[in-house]
Amino acid sequence: MGNIIIKVPITKSARQYGYIIWNKRHNPQIEKLLLGTKSIPVHFNKLNIGKKNIDWKYHRISLGWGLTRPLSEKIKIFVLTIDNNILKVSCE
């Protein structure tokens, strides 16, 4: 499963409120990546931020605004991968 890579744009509200937010067209890819689970351990930029719930209804995963607000405005993309059942989130 580690070879699936999904790139999700960082929206203004995602940055402000601390979420990974994907739109409906990403749903099939996200479902394939996360296998429909309700929660998953998350590493954000190599920092273990613990187990996070997946909000399938609103297409989002909370990272916490303390991690997303300090990101440079030049950073526009979340890159999502799975490694050993851990969601790895990096930025570009």
Strand order in the sheet with 19-21: 6-9, 77-83, 86-91, 39-44, 47-55, 60-62, 19-21
- Structurally, the chain folds into a number of domains equal to 1
- The verdict on residue 53 lying in a domain is yes
Range of the domain at 70: 6-91
- The verdict on residue 74 lying in a domain is yes
Q: Beta strands of 3-83 (E only): which ranges? A: 6-9, 19-21, 39-44, 47-55, 60-62, 77-83
Q: Is the pLDDT of residue 91 over 60?
A: yes
- The verdict on residue 33 lying in a domain is yes
Mean pLDDT, the chain, whole residue set: 95
Percent share of the chain, pLDDT over 70: 98
- Give CA torsion, residues 25, 26, 28, 32, to 10 deg: 180
- The verdict on residue 29 lying in a domain is yes
- The verdict on residue 1 lying in a domain is no
pLDDT at 3: 82
